[in-house]
Amino acid sequence: MTAALELGSSSIRSLRREDDVLKSRTSRCVYAVLPDSPAHQRLLEQCGLQFTTCEDGILLLGDGAYENAELFKSPCLPLMVGGRIPKGNPLVRQLISSLVEVILPIAGSRNEICALTLPGGAALDSSSEARADLEFYIRLVKLQGYEPKLVPASQALILAELVDSAFTGIGIVFGASGCEAILAHRGNPICHAASDHGGEWIDRQLAKKLNAPSVVSDDFPANTPAADQSFVRESLLSITRRREKLTSAATISGDAFTKHVEALIQETIFELCDALSGELIRSRRAKELPSPLPIVCGGGLIQTPGFGSILASVLREVKLPIETLRPRLITRADHSIARGLLISAELEATSRPAGRAA
């Protein structure tokens, strides 16, 4: 048996095959702290919402927080900032642990493999901060009884969507906390690029343009009141929700907010594609692959109206050093990356000699 765990800064998803049936669990990566009172607890119980209590009040986690925090006039807060686990915040670390326990079922047998990816291109990041986060998540996966296998999200997208080209091509993920791209041959990475510009970066820039409060990280000054920190994060979340609800491109709506979004998306795409172009130029193997190569794109940002046109325009400007096909956007497959992770885990399991121990 195998499992997949897609860790994102905006949501977390698992996928597991049980009796030839794919079973999925998903949740948003947010939480809310409500005032603790018997009345609040009774109301939550009547609504069938799971909650727990802490020194600061009543805790709602995941979808329950995202959908109900406003009803209690409490801010809905992200568990991760920029795809990273906040330092010096044991409550958030415990909440992330609890969310993983809920989303990733206990392994059914010994030595089951769980392929996982990290938020915002962190699977391609060798920094000490990224390694610390990886070690934290690996411990959580092991506690659920699995042997973890790290797979970049862009590589998982290739495994899920480029079957017809023998898993050869370019996979790009435009996520909330960052973007990443990989060129792979038969599923094996040849070169990659990553950027910390993603949905969260776009929302911080929008906050500045709208003169709304914004923060770059979770490291507030020591004397910043907790209520002010919550207000800032909630302001950003409101902008995120507004961006995600866009229904038409600026050429149709003429809306100033939409124009700002599109300009920032263009900048985000350009930064990643320019970095990828540089890596392709330096890669001898990239030039030896048969062309034209397919490009497949996933991630929350591609849902933005007009994204495909912006991407095509940037690619014409950047001029990648290898010939490619028109990019294909995976807009109606929320489980593509999770499926790719599961494929990677299953390939790993079948390649092992019988009886091999983890």
**pLDDT tens string 169-187:** 999 999 999 999 999 999 9
pLDDT range class, residue 103, cuts 50, 70, 90 = very high
Domain boundary among 58, 78, 98: 78
Check residue 224 and give its pLDDT.
45
Same domain, 66 and 177: no
Check residue 43 and give its pLDDT.
87
Same domain, 67 and 16: no
- Supply 145's token pair: 């009884």
- Supply 218's token pair: 């979770």
Specify the residue for token string 């390694």: 131
What are the angstrom distances between the C-alpha of 46 and each of 9, 57, 94, 102?
30, 18, 26, 22
Kind and range of the H or E element at 160? helix 153-161
357 located within any domain? no
Mean pLDDT of 75-90: 87
Structural domains of the chain, count: 2
323 located within any domain? yes
358 located within any domain? no
Check residue 232 and give its pLDDT.
55
Q: How far apart are CA 182 and CA 275, in angstroms?
A: 11
Domain boundary among 45, 61, 78: 78
Same domain, 16 and 34: no
Same domain, 287 and 231: yes
- Supply 243's token pair: 């961006």
Same domain, 146 and 282: yes
Same domain, 61 and 149: no
142 close to 97: Cβ distance less than 8 angstroms: no
**pLDDT tens string 145-162:** 999 999 999 999 999 999
Kind and range of the H or E element at 117? strand 112-117
Domain boundary among 78, 94, 112: 78
Same domain, 169 and 286: yes
- Burial of 3: CB neighbours in 10 Å, binned 0-12, 13-18, 19+: buried
Same domain, 241 and 256: yes
Kind and range of the H or E element at 161? helix 153-161
Same domain, 315 and 238: yes
Specify the residue for token string 């999200």: 153
Same domain, 228 and 305: yes
Check residue 219 and give its pLDDT.
44
**pLDDT tens string 255-307:** 899 999 999 999 999 999 999 999 999 999 998 999 999 999 999 999 999 99
Same domain, 58 and 194: no
Q: Would you tell me how many other CB atoms lie within 10 Å of the CB of residue 279?
A: 17
pLDDT range class, residue 233, cuts 50, 70, 90 = low
Nearest to 178 by CA among 275, 82, 245, 75: 82
How would you classify the pairing of strands 11-18 and 2-7?
antiparallel
Q: Would you tell me how many other CB atoms lie within 10 Å of the CB of residue 107?
A: 20
Query: 154: domain CATH number?
Result: 3.30.420.40
pLDDT range class, residue 212, cuts 50, 70, 90 = low
356 located within any domain? no
User: Which range of residues forms the domain containing residue 202?
Assistant: 2-29+79-351
Same domain, 150 and 194: yes
